[in-house]
Amino acid sequence: MKTLKRHLLAALLALCPAFALAQAPVLADTLQDRAAKALFWGDWDELERLHGAARLDTRRSEEGVLPACLFARGIGRKYDDDSLAYHEARVAGTREWTQRRPDSALAHAVHLEMLVDLAWFHRGSGFANTVSDQRFADFRAKLDEALAYAKANGAVMTQHSFYTRPLLALMRGLGVGLDKQLEIARHGLRKEPGDECVYLRLVDSLVPKWGGHPQQLEAWVRESMKGLSDTDALARYARLYDWAGSVDFHQGFFDASLVRWPLLRDGLRQLIKESPKGRYWKNRLAYYACMAQDRDAATPALEAIEAGPSFDAWGRDGQRNYQACRRWALQS
């Protein structure tokens, strides 16, 4: 009887892949760490497997992030103690991968990302007046090397939309105009329509830090919402504007951007509804409600996270921001 049950289950799984996927663990909940580990150890077969799975499995993580976006975050993970030798080893390792798998779009895109990361390691993340002439020269030379590689391998690399991540970072480093970056992002979206990761990636180029303007950011957010249901459009609005607020605007968000608090508030509530076990969006709702001086929204949002606030979701000086928000919300 047990043998018969096993055969029946196997037949059901073969006939219904969706059923099999529903029974499997949610890939997104472990994907970022697994991708980072595979890259660190040079397990290229595992990276190919994880990327393929992430493109098929659209179930979001507990915090509401798509597997494809988490895979990219794993590839981009930074370590506090990295060194020039570490970055050069990553370039050498991924170059070997491209030589073993010249037809792999992922191998070429990840190698490009390693080249761009090496360039930024030479420059550092400080303001221009903190970077020596030699470091700027090294930075530019490595970016030029990355650009030559992208041109030589673009036909293979652009088969999947992942390539937009390193290519957009390269364009920002080279100071290429926004029109070209929009062209790259839209090309990636033609390959994989609706890829939320591509919409998020371009946001980095649209904030003032990189020469963007609020009107350009607003136009991109609205473009990303086209064709979505009302609830999905609100969620997309909140995701993209939240990312913009994180990478640049911070406490000046509502003054320096065109974000509309009622839309952001409703979008955050939709994200909380979609990811009820997550903590990030609950904290972000309270964070933005205080920033918008909306006590009616802030008070219940703070109560919802009182047992365990996540200070990482409260911007720079997160704990102090949270404490200041609570003091303000409790005022009569």
For the cut 70, the answer to whether the pLDDT of residue 17 exceeds it is: no
Domain range for residue 128?
A: 86-175
Q: What is the pLDDT of residues 87-119, one digit of tens each?
A: 999 999 999 999 999 999 999 999 999 999 999
Name the pLDDT band for 21 (thresholds 50, 70, 90).
Answer: very low
Q: What is the pLDDT of residues 212-253, one digit of tens each?
A: 999 999 999 999 999 999 999 999 999 999 999 999 988 899
Q: What is the pLDDT of residues 119-155, one digit of tens each?
A: 999 998 777 889 999 999 999 999 999 999 999 999 9
For the cut 50, the answer to whether the pLDDT of residue 13 exceeds it is: no
Instruction: Please report the pLDDT score of residue 306 as a whole number.
Output: 86
Instruction: Please report the pLDDT score of residue 25 as a whole number.
Output: 60
Same domain, 65 and 109: no
Asked whether residue 207 is assigned to any structural domain, the reply reads no
d(CA 178, CA 294): 35
- Please give the torsion angle defined by the CA atoms of residues 27, 32, 37 and 40, in that order, rounded to the nearest 10 degrees: 140
Distances (CA, A) of 188 to 197, 198, 285, 332: 10, 7, 31, 51
Which of 77, 106, 136 is where one domain is finished?
Answer: 77
Name the pLDDT band for 43 (thresholds 50, 70, 90).
Answer: very high
Same domain, 35 and 104: no
Which of 126, 153, 175 is where one domain is finished?
Answer: 175
Name the pLDDT band for 36 (thresholds 50, 70, 90).
Answer: very high
Same domain, 48 and 90: no
Q: What is the pLDDT of residues 178-194, one digit of tens each?
A: 999 999 999 999 988 87
For the cut 60, the answer to whether the pLDDT of residue 5 exceeds it is: no
Q: What is the pLDDT of residues 149-179, one digit of tens each?
A: 999 999 999 999 999 999 999 999 999 999 9
Q: What is the pLDDT of residues 242-293, one digit of tens each?
A: 999 999 988 899 999 999 999 999 999 999 999 999 999 999 999 999 999 9
Asked whether residue 145 is assigned to any structural domain, the reply reads yes
Asked whether residue 240 is assigned to any structural domain, the reply reads no
Name the pLDDT band for 332 (thresholds 50, 70, 90).
Answer: low
For the cut 70, the answer to whether the pLDDT of residue 310 exceeds it is: yes
Same domain, 62 and 142: no
Same domain, 72 and 96: no
Which of 154, 175, 196 is where one domain is finished?
Answer: 175
Same domain, 49 and 125: no
Instruction: Please report the pLDDT score of residue 114 as a whole number.
Output: 97
Q: Which long-range contacts (CB under 8 A, 24 or more apart) does 43-48 make?
A: 44/97, 44/100, 44/101, 44/107, 47/106, 47/110, 48/101, 48/104, 48/106, 48/107
Instruction: Please report the pLDDT score of residue 24 as a whole number.
Output: 54
The mean pLDDT of 310-321, rounded to a whole number, is 94
Same domain, 95 and 169: yes
Same domain, 119 and 149: yes
Asked whether residue 310 is assigned to any structural domain, the reply reads no
Same domain, 123 and 165: yes
Asked whether residue 259 is assigned to any structural domain, the reply reads no
Instruction: Pick the range with the lowest mean pLDDT from 31-35, 125-129, 204-208, 277-281.
Output: 125-129
228 burial level (CB within 10 Å; 0-12, 13-18, 19+): middle
Instruction: Pick the range with the lowest mean pLDDT from 16-20, 76-80, 190-194.
Output: 16-20
Asked whether residue 124 is assigned to any structural domain, the reply reads yes
Number of independent structural domains in the chain = 2
Asked whether residue 114 is assigned to any structural domain, the reply reads yes
Q: Which two tokens stand for residue 162?
A: 């992942």
Asked whether residue 317 is assigned to any structural domain, the reply reads no
Instruction: Please report the pLDDT score of residue 128 as a whole number.
Output: 83
Same domain, 91 and 62: no
Angle between helices 105-123 and 44-56 (to 10 degrees): 110
Q: Which string of b and e fits 106-124 if b means at least 16 CB within 10 Å?
A: bbbbbbbbbbbbbbbbbbe
Average model confidence (pLDDT) for the chain? 91
